Structure 1
Amino acid sequence: MLANGQTVIQLMERWAPKRLAVPDDRIGLQVGTLNKKLEKVLVALDVTDEVVEEAIEAQAGLIIAHHAVIFRPLKALRTDLPGGKLLEKLIKHDIAVYIAHTNLDIAEGGVNDMLADALALEDRQLLSETSRDPYRKLVVYVPHSHADAVSEALFQAGAGHIGAYSECSFQSEGTGTFTPSAVSQPFIGETGRREHVPEKRIETIVPAQLERQVIQAMRKAHPYEEPAFDLFPLELAGHAYGLGRIGKRSEPCTLRELIDEVKRVCEVPFVRFVGDEQQQVSKIAVLGGSGGRYLAQAQFAGADVMITGDVDYHAAHDAWAAGMSVIDPGHNIEKIMKKGVAERVGSMLQEQGYTTAILPSTVNTEVFKLG
């Protein structure tokens, strides 16, 4: 069974929801339509002419890319210029393009976690927090006979998580009253007669982004036509999300050894670096893409070295003066997302019985070369 484009992207956004992206980031569907069945999906870092040719040859109807194909507002769509010609080719071959950028960087298991995994960083934390999920308190009143079923439905839908604990709730006893009207179909009671029913008040905590699905699950499990429930905002800080990761190696190594490992795992022929090659490093910050502006945060967090791309001359000088090492393997190390996204989205599709293939692009879009 082939998945349509909407299904593929729903799964993608379940993992890397748009709400995680930094303001004004160019994400989402940029070219074409998702309203079609897909035999194959191509995952790419950049959308170049070579990547589009690869998608055509593979008969992929969708490209999931990390970097936007439309970054600046279009003032014209000229097919005699490279940008317009690329968009023309995508449209002529009915290839849609969907962008997951900073939302994929920030998501748990996203680009920065992929890089941290590749470098075996342990006890990792966020480098720069960007948002927190607000919490709600859900209170629902349930007859005793269905209290366990409703509680289970709430937990399965994502309610009840507090820190390292799950299935958290509080229950108390009470009496519910109601009078069914002539058009009602009451689970308990008779039309026109006030009922007094022993009920349980179930209280639990709900992440705001799961509010709709938790309420839907509650309604489905609840026996009443019109369940009585309340939803309250909470001041409690929710789950944190952010850019970059910082963690430790199980064993310290020299900066030179780390440089060689970065070149190997990130598949880059060279890096730029700042620092003493014989320095012992243990605490490491990593941020895919352009992370020079976060060097001070990495130093404040205690990093011995930061691995990121596009570090400018003055930022490198500041790091040097502060005694912090820097490894710059280039922006292109984010290509780790090609295999990571293909494996994760492909696995989610398989679990739901879809046969749509998710393929990592084999095109190298690194633009810089050594002269």
Structure 2
Amino acid sequence: MKASDLIAKIEAYAPRELAWEADPIGLQLGDPGQEIHTVMTALDVRPEVVQEAIEKHVDFIFSHHPLIFKPARDLDLSSPQNKMYADLLKHQIVVYSAHTNLDATKGGMNDWLAETLQIHATKPLLPNDDGVTGIGRIGQLDTALTVEEYAQFIKEKFGVVAVRVIANDLQRSIKTIAVLGGDGGREYPVALAAGADAFVTADLYYHTAHDVLADDFVVIDPDHHMEAVAKAKMVNLIQEWNRAMQWQLDKVFASTINTDPYTYVF
């Protein structure tokens, strides 16, 4: 099969028009007409991820976060970022990224996060015109928990050493939960207005956290890397397509590299 065959299925599942206007989604690097045999999914495409792909003879990387957020100013290979591009080209590895379109689509990132967080009967937090797709999700826990209990549950589910909790009362009971993958601090007023008892998102800004407390709301921040749950889900999608389309890909697997840039010292 060709890379373009897989790209067509990804774009049918997570249509490009769902992406935010300035989001650099799509084919990042490589030849879409190239034949592919081994696919690796990744949250981020970093030099260590590319080295893993080279060692495992990958010829297509499907990532959530775009490879190229900022255009290269030169091709100086002493730059680790440029060297990474050169390595990808040298080893003929195609890179395709689905970011905010995968966030917004039905059955995409925010549904995977809601499933992990055991939020049920969900609907988009910021719906598109169709009412089905959109950024974020809001729904219900089966049983009300305290903020502290749910924060501990989230910590264990995402396998992180700590979560940041912004709340006036850790013993408050919560049941209606909103989630937005990635940096969702600016959307906390939307979650509050939608009737959420708590909002799970990442990268909350210091002064925004003060606003959350002033509004007597609850935000739980388990780190942007919580989106790594998508790696296995993306593998499942490609394996389903491989069977249905009889593509006969040799191997589909998730990157084993932890690309979380943060280290916590206790």
Which TM-score applies when normalising by structure 2? Answer: 0.96
Question: Considering only CA atoms, is the larger Rg found in Structure 1 or Structure 2?
Answer: 1
Q: 2:59 is matched with which residue?
A: 61
Q: 1:18 is matched with which residue?
A: 16
Within the alignment, does 1:247 sit opposite 2:245 as a pair?
A: no
Pairwise CA RMSD: 1.1
Equivalent of 1:89 in 66, 87, 90: 87
Which blocks of at least 5 consecutive residues in structure 2 are unaligned? Answer: none
Deviation at 1:239, TM superposition (A): 4.7
- Residues 204-254 of structure 1 deviation map (CA, whole Å, 9 limit, x = unaligned): xxxxxxxxxxxxxxxxxxxxxxxxxxxxxxxxxx45421000111111011
- Secondary structure of 1:71 counterpart: coil
- Secondary structure of 2:133 counterpart: strand
Q: Is the 8 A contact 2:123 2:132 kept in 1?
A: no
Deviation at 1:274, TM superposition (A): 0.9
Within the alignment, does 1:101 sit opposite 2:104 as a pair?
A: no
Deviation at 1:350, TM superposition (A): 1.0
- Secondary structure of 1:8 counterpart: helix
Equivalent of 2:193 in 300, 304, 321: 300
Equivalent of 1:266 in 158, 161, 182: 158
C-alpha separation in 2, matches of 1:344 and 1:241: 18
Q: Which has a greater percent of strand?
A: 1
Q: 2:7 is matched with which residue?
A: 9
Q: 2:47 is matched with which residue?
A: 49
C-alpha separation in 1, matches of 2:33 and 2:156: 40
Deviation at 1:37, TM superposition (A): 1.9
C-alpha separation in 2, matches of 1:78 and 1:335: 31
Deviation at 1:75, TM superposition (A): 2.0
Tell me the number of residue pairs that the alignment of Structure 1 and Structure 2 aligns. 263
- Residues 305-351 of structure 1 deviation map (CA, whole Å, 9 limit, x = unaligned): 11100000111111111111111111111111100111012111111
Q: Is the 8 A contact 2:124 2:131 kept in 1?
A: no
- Secondary structure of 1:38 counterpart: coil
C-alpha separation in 1, matches of 2:61 and 2:205: 31
Q: Is the 8 A contact 1:16 1:107 kept in 2?
A: yes
Q: Is the 8 A contact 1:8 1:349 kept in 2?
A: no
- Residues 147-205 of structure 1 deviation map (CA, whole Å, 9 limit, x = unaligned): xxxxxxxxxxxxxxxxxxxxxxxxxxxxxxxxxxxxxxxxxxxxxxxxxxxxxxxxxxx
Specify the code of the residue in structure 1 equivalent to 2:94.
Answer: A
Within the alignment, does 1:280 sit opposite 2:173 as a pair?
A: yes
1:295-334 correspondence to structure 2 within 5 Å: 295-334=188-227
C-alpha separation in 1, matches of 2:186 and 2:161: 24
Deviation at 1:105, TM superposition (A): 0.4
Specify the code of the residue in structure 2 equivalent to 1:250.
Answer: D
1:1-371 correspondence to structure 2 within 5 Å: 3-129=1-127, 131-132=128-129, 238-275=130-167, 276-356=169-249, 357-371=251-265
Which TM-score applies when normalising by structure 1? Answer: 0.69
Percent identity between matched residues is 38
Specify the code of the residue in structure 1 equivalent to 2:123.
Answer: Q
The worse-fitting range, judged by mean Cα deviation, of 61-70 and 284-293 is: 61-70
